[in-house]
Amino acid sequence: MTRSQDLVWNGIRREKLKLKCGSFYIAKDRASKPQGDDSHFICVGGWSKHGVDAGLYAAELINNSLLATLTQPLTQVDPMKVLDEAFSKTKAQGSSTACIITLQEGNMLHAVNVGDSRFMVIRRVEIIYKSPIQLHSFNFPYQLGNSANCAKPRQAQVIKVRVEAGDVIIAGTDGLFDNLFELQILATASKGIEQDLGAEEMVWEMAQLAYQPSRDKAAVTPFMEASKRAGRFRDGGKGDDITVIVSRILGA
């Protein structure tokens, strides 16, 4: 079957879909430019602070994840196999959250998630799915790593979501979701859908929107509200690295 053909199951014709992605990363002191890509694979990793450059672990894990996808058929990439292989080959010190999402045949997203990186699927003006997060306690997410007390791939959540052309996937680290409420993310994505913006344009707006409250000690944010529920009472946004990937589901 070629990429231009439709898929047919039980007499129902299903359109072959693809992802158009835009990514943006804002460090605490600088930002990277948005980049676009046609892909069937999304990977988000978090950063931790344990006295070592945890970014080395996250970068190595994600690079190994990309290499692991190259050994599998494009529309049949198994995110759990990717995570297992990447984890086994990552030797750097540190730890990282991880969220790996693939678009497979049958118009299904297959994903694995460890920690508080996450994603949501938006269809027009509605959030039709949001992935759960894994926390030991407030601001203490599960993280992959080589130390004994770190999570292992077998603890990852396995997720499947059916999608259709026009859907938008918002994936990101806690720097996004701790600083923006779901309704803010939905409103920004819905506006982009209505205006038919590209993924690169949408991701720029989403990342900048999250960056503003992250620097504001008076902002009302999900992080502030979660801290109060945990008895910590931390005001304002969460100053953190912000990684955002926006993907639009398109007909092939």
Residues 232-244 have pLDDT tens digits of: 999 999 998 899 9
- Whether the pLDDT of residue 19 is over 90: the answer is no
CB burial class (10 A; 0-12, 13-18, 19+) of residue 194? exposed
Percentage helix, strand, coil for the chain under 3-state DSSP, each rounded to 5: 30, 35, 40
User: CA 206, CA 196: separation in Å to the nearest integer?
Assistant: 15
With respect to residue 10, please indicate whether it lies within any of the assigned structural domains: no
Q: How confident is the model at residue 42 (pLDDT cuts 50, 70, 90)?
A: confident
Average pLDDT, stretch 18-36? 72
Residue 50: predicted pLDDT = 44
With respect to residue 21, please indicate whether it lies within any of the assigned structural domains: no
With respect to residue 56, please indicate whether it lies within any of the assigned structural domains: yes
Task: Provide the domain count of the chain.
Answer: 1
Q: Which amino acid makes up residue 149?
A: N
Average pLDDT, stretch 172-189? 97
With respect to residue 19, please indicate whether it lies within any of the assigned structural domains: no
Higher pLDDT, 67 or 52: 67
With respect to residue 5, please indicate whether it lies within any of the assigned structural domains: no
Task: Confirm if 160 and 119 have CB atoms less than 8 A apart.
Answer: no
With respect to residue 6, please indicate whether it lies within any of the assigned structural domains: no
- Whether the pLDDT of residue 2 is over 50: the answer is no
For residue 79, give the CATH number of its domain.
3.60.40.10
With respect to residue 60, please indicate whether it lies within any of the assigned structural domains: yes
Q: For the residues of 161-183, what is the DSSP string, one character each?
A: EE--TT-EEEEE-HHHHTTS-HH
pTM above 0.75, yes or no: yes
Note down the domain range covering 219: 26-251
Helices (H), 70-198: 79-89, 174-177, 182-194
With respect to residue 37, please indicate whether it lies within any of the assigned structural domains: yes
Average pLDDT, stretch 104-119? 94
Average pLDDT, stretch 13-22? 78
Question: Per residue in 129-155, pLDDT tens?
Answer: 999 999 999 999 999 999 999 999 999
